[in-house]
Amino acid sequence: MTDQTAPGALTDGFHLVIEALKLNGITTMFGVVGIPITDLARLSQAEGMRFISFRHEQPSGYAAAIAGYLTKQPGVCLTTSAPGFLNGLAALANANTNGFPMILISGSSNRAIVDLQQGDYEELDQMNAAKPFAKAAYRVDRPEDIGTGVARAIRTALSGRPGGVYLDLPAAVLSSTVDAQVGSASLVKVVHAAAPQRPTIEAVERAATLLAQAKRPLILLGKGAAYAQADTPIRDLVEKTGIPFLPMSMAKGLLPDGHHSSAASARSLALSQADVVLLIGARLNWMLAHGKPPQWSPTVQFIQIEANPSEFDSNRPIAAPLPGDIGEAVIALNAALAEKGVKADPAWLAVLDAKRQQNVAKMASRLSKVTDPMNFFTALNAIKGVLEGRDYYLVNEGANTLDVTRNVIDMHLPRRRLDPGSWGTMGVGLGYAIGAAVTTGKPIVAIEGDSAFGFSGMEVETICRYKLPVVVIIFNNGGIYRGDDVNRGVGTDPGVTRLDPSAHYEMIIEAFGGTGYNAKNPDELKQVLEAALTAGTPAIINCVIDPHAGTESGHLSKLNPQSAVTTGNVSPNVITK
C-alpha cells in the first residue's frame, strides 16, 4: 500500500479501486483475470481482499449476483475487456432482472481509439453496450474520479429496487498515477445506501381496510421478501392474522414449508379463489400468469408492497399500492391489522386445507413408488431423507429437475433455496453454488439437470481449487428434458435433445481431486450423499435417471409451441398453433 504521508507519494488507479471497495466493506471479488485487470486482481489479494478466480466470466457473475442477494451488499464481478465483458454482461442482466445487487467492473480499451473505431485491442464501447441490460452504467475517465464511480455504483445497486450496475474502467485510468493524498481524499464512503422508505399512513390504512374486508385473502411472498430479510415481521403477519400464504420458489423457507398456513400444496385453488391478495416482494409477471384469468379470479383485488412504484398496475390494477421498504411496510401493516382485529375466515382455511391434504397424499404416493431405473420422484425421495434436518443451502436448476425438486424438497429457513429466478436462466447453478459457499461457509447441495450442469461444468475445477463444501447431484437422464429423442431427418446424428446416454459426470471432478460417486438406485443414492456431506469436500454424484422420465420443457410446455412436434406426437411437418 502506498505511504500516503510521504511527500510527493503517488498512487495509481489499481490501488484506488481496491481502497474504494474496501472502504465500503467489499472484501471479495469474483471474476476471470486478463488484460487489463490482472494486476487489479493480484493487488486486491495482496491488500487483503479475496479474489475467486473462475474459468468463465458468466458463472463468476452469477456468483457475484447471488452473493449480493444473500448479503444485501453488492457482489462484485471483475472481467477483462470486450469478450470478457460480454460474458459477464449476461450475468449482470440476470441480476438486474431478479433484483440482485451486483456490480460488474470491466477493464476497457483506449477511449480515443474506441470512439473513432480505429481498431484498438478488444475495441468495444462497453458502457453503452451495458446500458440496456443494467440498472445504470458508469465510466471513470480520471483516476481521481474512481472513488465517486465506485460510490455511485454501490448506491445505485442497493437503493430502491436493487439491481445490476456496470462500472467501466479504461486501462489508462487503472495505470494512471495521482498524488497519494489527492487520491485518498477522493474516496467516498457511502452512507446508508439503502435507507428504508416508509409508506404513508394513508397507503397502509387503505391496504389494511381492504384485507379486513376480504373473505378469501392470500399473502403471496416473492424473492424480494426473502431479500429484504424482514423475516420476523412477515412471520408475525401470517401467524397473527392466520391469512394463508403462498411462497414463490426463492421465498420458500421464509416460513417453513410445513407451516399450517402454507397454501403451497393448494396453489391453483388459492390463486383462482382468492379475493384479495397481498403481494410482498413479488411481481405479477409470467410466473404468476400476469395476474389474469383463468389462473386468477377476474374480480381479485391486489395489494402490493414494492420499492419501485413504476411496477404498480403493470398487468392488473393495484387497488392498494404500498410503495416503500418491505420491512417497514409489513411492520406498519401489522399494526393496522391488529387494530382492526383481522383474522382469516375459518371457512376459507378449511377449503384450502382439504385441497392441501388431498395433494399431499398424492405426492406421498408418488414418492413412495420405487422405480427401476429411478425417475425424478424416486431419486428426490432418497435425497429428501438425507437432507432433512441438515443446515445447508440448496442450488437447483434444470427443467424437470427444477420443477420436481421445488415441490419435493422442503425448505425450513429463509434464503436457502437458490434457483434460476425470473428469467428461468439455465447455467446459474455452479456460479450460485460457489458464491453461496464463499459467502456463507455452509455446505451447498446443487441439484442439477444434466443439461443445466453443462453450461458451467468446468467450474467444478474452481470448486476443487478453493476446496469448497459443494456437493453436485446431476440428474442424468441422457438428454435435455429427456434422453429418448430421435433424429427426425437423415443420417446418424442423435436427436437434438439427446445427450451422451453413457456419461459418467462423476469422473469430471476426479480429474481435479474431488470425489465422484455413481448412483443407480435409491439405496446407493442415500449412501453416497450421506458420505459426501459428511466429508464436506467437493463431490459430484452422477444420479442415473430413466431416459424416458421427464416432459418437454418441464412445467413450461405451454410456452413451447413445438413441444408436440419435438416429442414425436405429430408429424414434424405439422405446425401446431
Tell how far CA 448 is from the center of its chain: 14
- As a whole number of Å, the end-to-end CA separation of the chain is 65
Q: Is 193 a member of any domain?
A: no
On whether both 401 and 544 belong to a single domain, the answer is: yes
What dihedral angle (degrees, nearest 10) is formed by the CA atoms of 334, 339, 345, 346? 90
End of a domain among 322, 353, 384?
353
Q: What is the pLDDT of residues 175-215, one digit of tens each?
A: 999 999 999 999 999 999 998 899 999 999 999 999 999 99
Looking at residue 262, which CATH number applies to its domain?
A: 3.40.50.1220
Decide if 493 is inside a domain: yes
The confidence score (pLDDT) of residue 569 equals: 37
From CA 454, how far away is CA 473, in angstroms rounded? 13
Determine phi and psi for 443, rounding to 5 degrees: -60, 140
The set of residues, in sequence order, having a beta carbon less than 8 Å from that of 351 and lying 6+ positions away, is 269, 273
pLDDT of residue 552: 84
What is the DSSP annotation of 37-54? THHHHHHHHHTT-EEEE-
162 and 225, same domain (yes or no): no
| Same domain flag for 31 and 97 | yes
244 close to 218: Cβ distance less than 8 angstroms? yes
220 and 171: one domain? Answer: no
Does a structural domain hold residue 360? Answer: no
Does residue 374 sit in the same domain as residue 327? no
> Residue 379 domain-assigned?
yes
Residues 389 and 265 in one domain: no
The pLDDT > 70 percentage for the chain reads 95
* Residue at which a domain ends, from 324, 353, 382: 353
| pLDDT band of 561, cuts 50, 70, 90 | low
CB atoms within 10 A of CB 51: 18
Q: Which of 526, 435, 498 is nearest to 446 (CA)?
A: 435
Q: For residue 493, what pLDDT band results from cuts at 50, 70 and 90?
A: very high
More confident residue, 575 or 213: 213
CB 375 within 8 A of CB 223: no
What are 111-160's pLDDT values in tens digits?
Answer: 999 999 999 999 999 999 999 999 999 999 999 999 999 999 999 999 99
Residue 386, domain CATH: 3.40.50.970
Asked if residue 410 is part of any domain, the answer here is yes
Whether pLDDT at 1 is above 90: no
- 398-455 pLDDT tens trace: 999 999 999 999 999 999 999 999 999 999 999 999 999 999 999 999 999 999 999 9
Beta-carbon contacts of residue 35 (< 8 Å; ≥ 6 apart): 80, 81, 107, 121, 122, 171
Does residue 163 form part of some domain? yes
User: 235 and 147 in one domain?
Assistant: no
133 and 244 together in one domain: no
Determine the structural domain holding residue 235 and report its residue range. 201-353
Q: What is the pLDDT, as a whole number, of residue 556?
A: 73
Q: Do 428 and 480 share a domain, yes or no? A: yes
Lowest mean per-residue pLDDT among 1-5, 43-47, 73-77, 200-204: 1-5
Percentage above 90 pLDDT, the chain: 93
**Do 213 and 335 have their domain in common?**
yes
Q: Classify residue 167 by burial, with Cβ atoms within 10 Å: 0-12, 13-18, 19+.
A: buried
Averaged over 379-394, what is the pLDDT? 98
Question: What whole-number distance in Å separates Cα of residue 393 and Cα of residue 381?
Answer: 18
pLDDT tens track for 301-326: 999 999 999 999 999 999 999 999 99
Q: What is the pLDDT of residue 554?
A: 73
* All cell numbers assigned to 75: 457482489
Please give the tally of structural domains in the chain.
Answer: 3
Q: What is the pTM of this model?
A: 0.95
Confidence of residue 4 (pLDDT cuts 50, 70, 90): low
| 3-class DSSP assignment, residue 10 | strand
Q: Within this chain, do residues 26 and 95 fall inside the same structural domain, yes or no?
A: yes
CA distance 315 to 493: 44
- What pLDDT, on the 0 to 100 scale, is given for residue 501? 85
Residue 2 maps to a domain? no
Q: Residue 356: is its pLDDT beyond 60?
A: yes
- Final residue in a domain of this structure, among 302, 318, 353: 353
Query: What is the pLDDT at residue 470?
Result: 98
Q: Please report whether residue 364 resides in a domain.
A: no
- Over the chain, what is the mean pLDDT? 94
Residues 323 and 389 in one domain: no
d(CA 68, CA 71): 5
Q: pLDDT tens across 363-383, in order? A: 999 999 999 999 999 999 999
| Average pLDDT of the residues in 330-358 | 97
The band of 16, judged by pLDDT with boundaries at 50, 70 and 90, is very high
Rounded Cα gap, residues 47 and 35, in angstroms = 20
Strand order in the sheet with 470-476: 417-418, 393-397, 444-449, 470-476, 539-544, 515-519
